Amino acid sequence: MNFHQIAGAACRALTARKDGPSLFDICDPVLLAYDGGDRHLGKFYRTALGNPALRPLLRRAGLAELRDGSRLQSLQQALTQARDDSAPDWTAIGQPVASLLDTIELQHPKPPPMPAPARVPGLSEIEAVIRTCGAHLLRSYRSNGFIPTYAAFNLIGDADVGGRELLMALNGLNARGYKNSTLLFNLARVFIARSPARDLINPPWRGIAEPMWQPMQIRHRSAYYDAFFTEALLSFVETGLASSGETEASRRAIADMVDFCLVTSKEDVRALDGTPFSVITALAPLPHPRFSRFFSQIKQELGFGIYVPDCDTTACAFSAATQAGSTDPILAQPLLDFYAGYQVSAGVNEPKVTVPLNDNIDYEGGIATWIDNLAGERPYGNDLDPTLNLDVLEVSFRNLARWNVLETPQRLTTVQRIIGFQKRLAQTGAFADPRSHIYYLPELYCAYFGRCYAAFAALPPAAQRTIDPDGAFDFIRGKVLGYVENELIAAEMNVFDAALALIALGHLNAAPASFAPALHCIISQLGEGGRRGPFKAYEWNKMKTPIRILVGGPEVTSAFVLMGLALARRALMQQAGAS
């Protein structure tokens, strides 16, 4: 949005005619000041929703149906129960909010088709952008002492979370503070989506990955992000385009980030059978996350007081460390033995997934997300994400010999069941449905499948046949490649979409001519990031609860662009060498 669009949207929100009671008319009498009960609910309301920034925007956002006193009373009664009951009935509390939530209409982006460019850009153009992105990552590391990532709240919420999903979350999440924030955020969504404030909070954008234009962005550091920045810098060095100074700086940054992943972020837990394991926590204890000062003061009030390890961060950290040549003893642990305890068996342990927001897919064989810490805490309940399971496969392929996967029937079975889970997603086409994914876009799933496929293809042919005797990987490859070529790159893209497309196309050995749309998109948008970097910040991953929280940043975009362009460059050079 430009300045005039922002000003116009703000003016419409501030001067709209009020049609009924507002969010504040409902919540102020119950949550603004009270004695006893759950103190967090009121703190969250005052901090996240009743603050001086949102009040003017939503003051005139009223709902006509709440003129009915009984409906208004039912909402206030629900909030009172959430505030005062020692063991709240979250289904009853959530029902009046869920009914309102089902009145809003949100859709996933549907970019219009775009004609393919006439030619593939030249190598010199591609190499110039690779150097620019590599320099940006190293400059950011030098300035900050790490490469930051950012989180931003989009209060319009996620298109896949309606009333039904709200009730799932309220019952499946464990931490009361997280339930509180989910309840109130989703109540606020209704007033935002049905008022002129919607245009300001959720403006349209180009492509699929959402730009992170929101003014409040929370800087932080996590092993998950460091793992992918490690891969990006490894890719930069492997291109041979880094100067000698940049190569040395990259190696120092890689060593530091691997240490952050395996040492600083290590957490000891127990597998479900009691075996001790060291895993990687989603967020290391303070001061290591390097939160921006504002968020470090209010994160507890927003309901984010407890962090636990997760299967995805562990897999990605182990993978990046393996690629970097680390010999840390933690890597000798056969993670598949640990993951087996979090693997879903249909009809037996599906209750492992307590927040089944993507219950349109068959979970059998999939690995759940969150790991219980030693205290047994699981604040987010548990869910199951397809892309996470690709990361488990990828790290298993990279450590196939180290973990004796082929020689250990139980480990091989765990891998094959995950492959079966992925094959069913391809057979049904569910991998291309945003609803199937908890934390990622289908386009990112495609890129990560390419990454996983490359690790599989690097194995000896005999190992490939043992792991995948039915050819599931080739089948999935065909489905993913068809989606990328016929839908993703055939439509309007932004830079992040284009980077994901290149990663998928490059790893899946697509024809180099198919790279043209994504390459043109990236090269033509170079400089869009202004002073913050070569490109803007876009949605890398997200949370759907307690509200839509996007994670990304200019450095993230540079990392993905660099990796995508490096793969495209390699394919183009191989084509030129063969001709």
Asked if residue 143 is part of any domain, the answer here is yes
Q: Please state the rounded mean pLDDT for residues 254-278.
A: 95
Q: Which residues contact 397 (CB under 8 A, 6 or more apart)?
A: 452, 455, 456, 458, 459, 467
Lowest model confidence (mean pLDDT) among 11-25, 228-242, 518-532: 11-25
In sequence order, what are the residues at sequence separation of 6 or more whose Cβ sits closer than 8 angstroms to the Cβ of residue 208?
A: 108, 109, 111, 441, 443, 488, 493, 494, 497
Taking residue 562's Cβ as centre, other Cβ atoms within 10 Å add up to 27
How confident is the model at residue 302, as a pLDDT?
Answer: 59
Q: Are residues 88 and 142 in the same domain?
A: no
Residue 20 lies in a domain: yes
> Model confidence over 237-262: pLDDT tens digits?
999 999 999 999 999 999 999 999 99
- Checking phi first, is residue 512 left (phi over 0); if not, alpha (psi -120 to 50) or beta? alpha
Task: Report the pLDDT averaged over residues 164-172.
Answer: 97
Among 200, 213, 214, smallest CA distance to 11 is for 200
**Mean pLDDT within 161-190:** 96
- What's the whole-model pTM score? 0.94
Residue 467: what pLDDT? 98
pLDDT in the model for residue 443:
98
Q: State the CB neighbour count (10 A cutoff) for residue 166.
A: 27
pLDDT, the chain, mean: 92
Q: Express each pLDDT in 376-428 by its tens digit.
A: 788 789 999 999 999 999 999 999 999 999 999 999 999 999 999 999 999 99
Q: Give tens-digit pLDDT for 112-158.
A: 999 989 889 999 999 999 999 999 999 999 999 999 999 998 999 99
pLDDT higher than threshold 90 for residue 229: yes
Determine the average pLDDT of the residues in 430-458: 98
Same domain, 318 and 187: no
Report which of residues 191 and 217 the model is more confident about.
Answer: 191
Share of the chain above pLDDT 90, in %: 81
Least confident stretch, 297-306, 354-363, 410-419, 435-444: 297-306
238 contacts: CB under 8 Å, gap ≥ 6: 566
Q: Are 558 and 498 in contact (CB under 8 A)?
A: no
Same domain, 334 and 482: yes
Residue 188 covered by a domain: yes
Q: Which residue has the tokens 């490939």?
A: 464
Q: If you ran DSSP here, which 8-state letter would residue 540 be given? A: S
Q: Are residues 164 and 313 in the same domain?
A: no
Closest listed residue to residue 250, CA positions, set 99, 126, 147: 147
pLDDT digits (tens, 9 = 90+) for 65-96: 999 989 999 999 999 999 999 999 999 999 99
- Residue 47 or residue 101, greater confidence: 101
Cα separation, 225 vs 450, in Å, equals 19
Confidence at residue 425, expressed as pLDDT on a 0 to 100 scale? 98
* pLDDT recorded at residue 308: 85
Asked whether residue 347 falls in the same domain as residue 422, the answer is yes
Q: Within a domain: residue 130?
A: yes
Residue 411 and residue 334 in contact, taking contact as beta carbons nearer than 8 Å: yes
**Residues whose CB falls within 8 Å of the CB of residue 532, separated by 6 or more in sequence, listed in order:** 554
Q: Are residues 350 and 482 in the same domain?
A: yes
Give the tokens for residue 318: 């182990």
Q: Look at the chain and report how many structural domains it folds into.
A: 2
pLDDT of residue 376: 79
The pair of three-digit structure tokens given for residue 344, joined into one six-digit string: 């879903």
329 within some domain: yes
432 lies in some domain? yes
Range in 83-87, 175-179, 565-569 with the lowest mean pLDDT = 175-179
**Final residue before a domain boundary, out of 168, 199, 230:** 199
Per this entry, what is the length of the chain? 579
- Least confident among 188-192, 207-211, 212-216, 472-476: 212-216
Does residue 18 register a pLDDT over 90?
A: no
Contact 181, 166 (CB under 8 A): no
| Selected residue with higher pLDDT from 2 and 184 | 184
Q: Same structural domain for residues 467 and 564?
A: yes
- CA atoms of 344 and 198, how far apart (whole Å): 39
Give the pLDDT of residue 206: 94
Range of the structural domain that residue 84 is part of? 3-109+157-199
Which H or E element spans position 185? Answer: helix 176-193
Q: Has residue 543 been placed in a domain?
A: no
* 315-344 pLDDT, tens digit each: 999 999 999 999 999 999 999 999 999 999
pLDDT recorded at residue 296: 58
List the CATH number of the domain containing 269.
Answer: 1.50.10.20
Q: Which residue has the tokens 């509390």?
A: 93
Longest dimension (CA), the chain: 78
Whether 560 and 553 have beta carbons less than 8 Å apart is answered as no
Q: Are 96 and 478 in contact (CB under 8 A)?
A: no
Which tokens go with 30?
A: 């119950």
Per-residue pLDDT band at 577 (split at 50, 70, 90):
confident
Confidence of residue 5 (pLDDT cuts 50, 70, 90): low
Same structural domain, 144 and 161: no
Q: When comparing pLDDT for 396 and 57, which is higher?
A: 396
Q: Give the span between the Cα atoms of 59 and 243, in whole angstroms.
A: 55
The pLDDT, as a whole number, for residue 6 is 62
Do 163 and 247 sit in the same domain of this protein?
A: no
pLDDT at 304: 60
Rounded (5°) CA angle 453-458-463: 95
Residue 386 lies inside a defined structural domain of this protein: yes
Nearest Cα residue to 162 out of 551, 550, 544, 549: 544
- Read off the tokens for 541: 């991953």
**β-pair type (149-154, 266-270):** unpaired
Q: Are residues 164 and 252 in the same domain?
A: no
Distance CA 340, CA 338 (A): 5
Q: What is the pLDDT of residue 213?
A: 77
Q: Where are the beta strands (DSSP E) in 428-574?
A: 541-543, 548-552
One domain for residues 363 and 455: yes
Q: How far apart are CA 516 and CA 464, in angstroms?
A: 31
Q: Please indicate, yes or no, whether residues 193 and 314 belong to a single structural domain of this protein.
A: no
Specify the 3-state DSSP secondary structure of 149: strand
